[in-house]
Amino acid sequence: MTTQLGGSASRALPATDPGRGSEPAHRKERSVSAFGLAVKIVLLGLLVSFSVWAAFPLIAGEHWVGLGILVAATALLLYAYLTPRHIPAKYLLPGTVFLVIFQLFPVLYTASTAFTNFGDGHRGSKQDAVVAIQTASVTQVPGSTEYALSIATTGDPATGPIVFLITDPASKKVSVGDGFGLKELPAGDVTVTSSGKVTAARGYTVLNVGQASARSKEITEFVVPTAGGAIRSTGLSRAYEGKAGRVYDAATDSIRDTTSGKVWKADESLGAFVASDGEKLAQGWKVNVGFANFTRALTDDSISGPFLGTLVWNFVFAICSTGFTFLLGMFIAVALHSSRVRFRNLYRILLVLPYAMPSFAMLLVWRDMFNTDFGLINNLLGIHTNWFGGAMTARIAVILVQLWLGYPYMFLVCTGALQAIPGELVDATKVDGASPWKGFRAVTLPLLMIALTPLLISSFAFNFNNFNAIWLTTEGAPFPADNLTNGATDLLITYTYRLAFGASGAQYGFAAAISIFIFLIVAVVSTISFRRTRHQEEVYS
Amino acid sequence: MTQVGWRHLVAVLGVVFAIIPLLFVLSAALNPLGTLSSTELLPTGASTENFSKLFGSTGFPYWFVNSVVIAGVAASASVFLSALAAYAFSRRRFAGRRVGLMSLLLIQMFPQFLAVVAIFLMFSTITDLWPAFGFNTWWGMIFLYLGGALGVNTWLMKGFYDTIPKELDESAYVDGATHSQIFFKILLPLIAPILAVTGLLAFIGTINEFLIANVFLTEGTSKTLAVGLYGLIAGSRDTNFGMFCAGTLLTAIPTVGVFMYLQRYIVEGLSAGAVKG
């Protein structure tokens, strides 16, 4: 008797129904089919073997937290599908697992960076910043030690991480140097030529000249930090130990330039070393900055002004994109909603064609159709407009593109919704003597709106963040001469993208703060509209 | 007569608007010169040179297969996952049901691709540990897209389930069916129209997804059509335009195929899903 009665269906039924008690035993026995059982066993078997397979790299890499999560998740899944209880969970878990790992976790991580200064120059810990500043200032000074150098890797010669194998000229001892420092290798593990060059080392692949010169840029930038400076390469077979021109002093928590004597003190609130004259070293570290990113978006004049302008345009864009496509789609759908129109199916197929085309490609094609010199639009109209050169024309252009991409979908949806409206209702208005237009206004349109408002809201939310529509056509252009980060057609999302990954240096923390603003705006607008829809539905139905 | 005449006029104007860019693409694809500046609205020549160049000198066949496999598997799997979840939301009453439904909507409203830094860092670790699911793999990309499986689709489907009378599954329950039999044998066939619509939307969405794929698929043969075709004209826009348009036309084929295959459900599903969305 393992039957679990749960959910509305079972609650609607008394467990033992005296009036129909002829076959109570039959009713309580849920017949689990052999096929269903087999599927379940196979799937759970796959789950377990997948977890076992996934556990090996975790154990090898000593990721104990990850292993714990894996074991816990597997146990939870097995429990959910082996007990007869928790029926909703059985249906929700598969999607939820993916949602949590690939959506919720990245979003939460991103949101948490909104409170930091994470970005170019502020990526790692303070320790990393100190090492980077010191090694970057390393110069070859007279008398610095020269080493024979071999370049090796622990992985694939073309892509594996680079290490330096160097031989001390005095002691002939071989050491391996990576990004963290030097480590001596046992003499038995290496083969060294008389000139001191390492030709083989256990556990490492020594690169030949061709392989090494293919990666010469990486090798030139590679540094091995040492106590007083760092080891760098000169060419592919020599290395030197240079002295750091800038040294960190733990006692005063500051960086000192050994030649000029200038001092930069660590500022924990900024995550950077700052000199008394206000100069900041480029290399800083990641710190918590509280709400600074949020207040900066609202109070910094160079940002808040363009930001508000972008916000207004963003609304105009989303409303026009959704509204115009809906109006055009509905208009054509209404026009074709009459059995007296011949070739209706042909029209429909042709009208839906844009919807079938890949939108990313068509956006790029449209960009070329707006080309000033040989674009199709100018050719057809016989004009010479620089569409993406002016703010107004660029905005008209992107909305026109949205209209083309979007109205076939609205046409389809409206066609469907129109068919769901009973014809008698419309006929009744005719009997009452109303004009077709009045009948449409009073009966068809309200019913259409009830059916389509949820779709219009989600279309609005989609267009509000329609990254491709702008990025693949104008890239936000035209830009004002004095502000290259915020163009006339930029949406908040493209603006944010440029902040996060733009050429002027990545500002993930600030970009994340803006995306939280975007999220709040869209959430508020959608919630209000959904509320209003509810009311509407009550009024009309 | 005028009552029908205006309808034809509207339809013809609508069709003209729809067709012009498509004619332009077709003309560019057939244009033997294959440059943007030499392309006219109507085809001036007919050559398959752009197509053969596309197959001969680029990774197009790989991109095509990658796109179809990734979008096909991701769309079907995500439809199945949201059908499962929507069943629970529509037919079962449990603690956290309302909260769950609301949070699905809310999570969707966060601009997900801004999490691309987090996704990148996450997949760097995954690539180290399990290369089979890392960057440049089908599985990694599909799993990533499945993160968005629950969401708007679940809402649409829940609305559709709600229109199916509860008495139907209740009577099956009386007859001794298990919840999984009710789901697979009774409800799943009945919600076919909305499965078709969400499947089509998911397929189109995935095949058009550019940004995350661009970060995720960097090796030549692992790219999707969006990433590959974009790369084709990123450098030399004018000269590769013909090849690009040829690729665009070919990219439409899987979408049209899915559309044709699902067509009989689509209009019904769109309207019915919309009514109770």
A11: pLDDT confidence band, cut at 50, 70 and 90?
Answer: very low
Task: Using CB atoms, pick whichever of A96, A369, A407 lies closest to residue B24.
Answer: A369
Contacts of A38 (CB under 8 A, 6+ apart): none
Rounded (10°) CA dihedral A287, A288, A293, A294:
180
Mean pLDDT of A211-239: 81
Asked whether residue A318 is assigned to any structural domain, the reply reads yes
Helix or strand (DSSP H, E) at B33 = none
The whole-angstrom separation of Cα A31 and Cα A199 is 71
Q: Which of A33-42, A61-70, A532-541 has the lowest mean pLDDT?
A: A532-541
Quick one: A106 and A141 in the same domain? no
Q: Considering its fold, how many domains does chain A have in total? A: 3
**pLDDT score recorded for residue A26:** 46
Contacts of A235 (CB under 8 A, 6+ apart): none
Q: Helices A301-336 & B2-30, crossing angle to 10 degrees? A: 120
Among A514, A502, A520, smallest CA distance to A294 is for: A514
| CA B80, chain centre distance (Å) | 14
Q: Are B147 and A88 inside 8 Å of each other by CB?
A: no
A3: pLDDT confidence band, cut at 50, 70 and 90?
Answer: very low
The whole-angstrom separation of Cα A310 and Cα A491 is 6
Q: What share of chain B is helix, strand, coil (3-state, %, to 5)?
A: 80, 0, 20
Taking the CB of residue A34, how many other CB atoms lie within 10 A of it?
8
Asked whether residue A410 is assigned to any structural domain, the reply reads yes
Taking the CB of residue A303, how many other CB atoms lie within 10 A of it?
19
Q: Which residues in chain B touch residue A440, judged by CB atoms under 8 angstroms apart? A: none
In which domain, by residue range, is A488 found?
298-540
DSSP characters over A17-72: -GGGTTSHHHHH-----HHHHHHHHHHHHHHHHHHHHHHHHHHHTT-HHHHHHHHH
Quick one: A241 and A354 in the same domain? no
**pLDDT score recorded for residue B13:** 94
**pLDDT score recorded for residue B274:** 45
**pLDDT score recorded for residue A352:** 86
- Tell whether A523 lies on the interface with B, counting CB pairs under 8 A: yes
A185: pLDDT confidence band, cut at 50, 70 and 90?
Answer: confident
A247-294 pLDDT, tens digit per residue, is 888 888 888 888 888 888 888 888 888 888 888 888 888 888 888 888
Helix or strand (DSSP H, E) at A293 = helix A292-299
The whole-angstrom separation of Cα A273 and Cα A285 is 9
A55: pLDDT confidence band, cut at 50, 70 and 90?
Answer: very high
Quick one: A406 and A463 in the same domain? yes
The whole-angstrom separation of Cα B28 and Cα B47 is 10
Both tokens of residue A137?
């200032």
CA of B214 vs chain A CAs: smallest distance (Å):
13
Q: Are B81 and A94 inside 8 Å of each other by CB?
A: yes
Task: Decide the pairing of beta strands A190-192 and A181-184.
Answer: unpaired
Q: Which of A10-19, A28-37, A436-445 has the lowest mean pLDDT?
A: A10-19
Most confident of A300-314, A454-468, B148-162, B245-259: B245-259
CATH of the domain at A224: 2.40.430.10
Quick one: A44 and A95 in the same domain? yes
Contacts of A277 (CB under 8 A, 6+ apart): none
B22: pLDDT confidence band, cut at 50, 70 and 90?
Answer: very high
- End-of-domain residue from the set A114, A137, A156: A114
The whole-angstrom separation of Cα A477 and Cα A419 is 42
The whole-angstrom separation of Cα A53 and Cα B95 is 35
Both tokens of residue A331?
């208009």
The whole-angstrom separation of Cα A36 and Cα A354 is 43
Mean pLDDT of B265-274: 59
**pLDDT score recorded for residue A534:** 67
**pLDDT score recorded for residue B149:** 85
Asked whether residue A354 is assigned to any structural domain, the reply reads yes
The whole-angstrom separation of Cα B135 and Cα A68 is 24
A526: pLDDT confidence band, cut at 50, 70 and 90?
Answer: confident
Residue reference for tokens 């009830």: A450
Mean pLDDT of A72-91: 91
Is the pLDDT score of A18 beyond 50?
Answer: no
**pLDDT score recorded for residue B240:** 86
Quick one: A390 and A533 in the same domain? yes
Quick one: A361 and A445 in the same domain? yes
Quick one: A95 and A149 in the same domain? no
Q: Are A362 and B178 inside 8 Å of each other by CB?
A: no
- End-of-domain residue from the set A57, A81, A114: A114
Instruction: Answer yes or no: pTM beyond 0.80.
Output: no
State the average pLDDT for chain B.
Answer: 85
| CA B248, chain centre distance (Å) | 15
Quick one: A107 and A147 in the same domain? no
Quick one: A331 and A437 in the same domain? yes
A304-322 pLDDT, tens digit per residue, is 778 888 899 999 999 999 9
Is the pLDDT score of B199 beyond 50?
Answer: yes
Q: Which of A101-105, A409-413, B1-5, B258-262 has the lowest mean pLDDT?
A: B1-5
**pLDDT score recorded for residue A394:** 95
Asked whether residue A315 is assigned to any structural domain, the reply reads yes
Quick one: A233 and A304 in the same domain? no
Contacts of A228 (CB under 8 A, 6+ apart): A243, A244
Asked whether residue A259 is assigned to any structural domain, the reply reads no
CATH of the domain at A322: 1.10.3720.10
Q: Which of A164-173, A439-448, A501-510, B226-235 has the lowest mean pLDDT?
A: A501-510
Asked whether residue A288 is assigned to any structural domain, the reply reads no
Quick one: A76 and A150 in the same domain? no
- Tell whether B97 lies on the interface with A, counting CB pairs under 8 A: yes
**Cis peptide bond N-terminal to B189, omega within 30:** no
The whole-angstrom separation of Cα A304 and Cα A296 is 8
Q: Which residue of A has its CA nearest to B178?
A: A30
Asked whether residue A264 is assigned to any structural domain, the reply reads no
CA of B216 vs chain A CAs: smallest distance (Å):
13
Quick one: A458 and A314 in the same domain? yes
Asked whether residue A190 is assigned to any structural domain, the reply reads yes
- End-of-domain residue from the set A247, A282, A317: A247
Mean pLDDT of A233-239: 82
**pLDDT score recorded for residue A201:** 84
**pLDDT score recorded for residue B268:** 63
Report how far apart, in Å, the C-alpha atoms of B235 and of each of A66, A249, A418, A468, B5 are. Answer: 42, 48, 47, 19, 49
**pLDDT score recorded for residue A286:** 87
